[in-house]
Amino acid sequence: MLKRTPSDTIRTQREQQQAENRLRCKQVVDALTEKQCEVLQALAQGLHPDKVAHMLGLKSSTISHHTNIIYRECRNAWNLPEKPVVNYLFVQARFADYFSHEESIPHAQKKVIQSDL
């Protein structure tokens, strides 16, 4: 019988949480349009929605529309009630690692990233 150390148990739990988070992130990304994914990725990089609007050349009201959809999809994916705030900081915390792995980025997003380089 294998003997597991507390460190092994913690590592396993952390890996399980990360895997669950990646699945939730994918669920959100799969529900979004290409433009909404661009907004999501910019938020995940830590940009404020106003900076995202400037960067993408969109009106603040358009970004607000996109972020409301993104936040709704996050609530659904994480099964959150209406009370806790879901905002760009929530998105950044949940999606920063997801988009740091190129294989997790949808094909359309890879084009956007490459054109920015």
Q: Which pLDDT score, from 0 to 100, does residue 101 have?
A: 62
CA distance 71 to 99: 17
For residue 5, give every residue at least 6 positions away whose Cβ sits within 8 Å of its Cβ, in sequence order, or none.
none
CA distance 18 to 16: 5
Q: Which pLDDT score, from 0 to 100, does residue 114 have?
A: 41
Q: Which pLDDT score, from 0 to 100, does residue 113 have?
A: 41
Q: Which pLDDT score, from 0 to 100, does residue 112 have?
A: 45
Paired tokens of 51:
């900076």
The verdict on pTM exceeding 0.85 is no
For residue 46, give every residue at least 6 positions away whose Cβ sits within 8 Å of its Cβ, in sequence order, or none.
92, 96
Query: What CATH number was assigned to the domain covering residues 34-116?
Result: 1.10.10
Judge contact between 40 and 95, C-beta under 8 A.
yes
pLDDT block averages, 10 residues each, the chain of length 117:
75 87 96 96 95 95 97 96 91 91 46 42
The separation between the first and the last C-alpha atoms of the chain, rounded to the nearest angstrom, is 51
Q: Which pLDDT score, from 0 to 100, does residue 48 have?
A: 96
